[in-house]
Amino acid sequence: MPNAALEIVLITGMSGSGKSVALHALEDWGYYCVDNLPPELIVPFVQVEEKNGATRLAIAVDVRSANSLPQLPAQLAELAKAGVLVKRLFLDAATDVLVRRYSESRRMHPLSHGDAADQHHALVEAIELERKLLLDLRSNSHVIDTGMIRPSQLQSWVKDVIATRPMIPLTLVFASFSFKRGIPIDADYVFDVRMLPNPHYEPELRHLTGLDQPVAAFLTQHEDVKRMQSDIERFLAHWLGKLARNHRSYVTVAIGCTGGQHRSVYLVERLAAAFADQWQTLRRHREIEGSGAASVFKASVY
pLDDT tens digits for 61-77? 988 888 888 889 899 99
Sign of CA dihedral 73, 25, 102, 110: negative
Pairing of strands 56-60, 7-13: parallel
pLDDT of residue 81: 87
pLDDT band at 3 (very low <50, low <70, confident <90, very high): low
Which tops the pLDDT comparison, 168 or 9? 9
pLDDT tens digits for 65-120? 888 888 898 999 999 888 788 999 999 999 999 999 988 877 888 887 655 556 77
The closest of 141, 143, 153 to 285, measured between CA atoms, is: 153
- Is the pLDDT at 298 greater than 60? The verdict is no
- Phi, psi at 226, each rounded to 5°: -60, -40
How far, in Å, CA of 163 to CA of 165, rounded?
Answer: 6
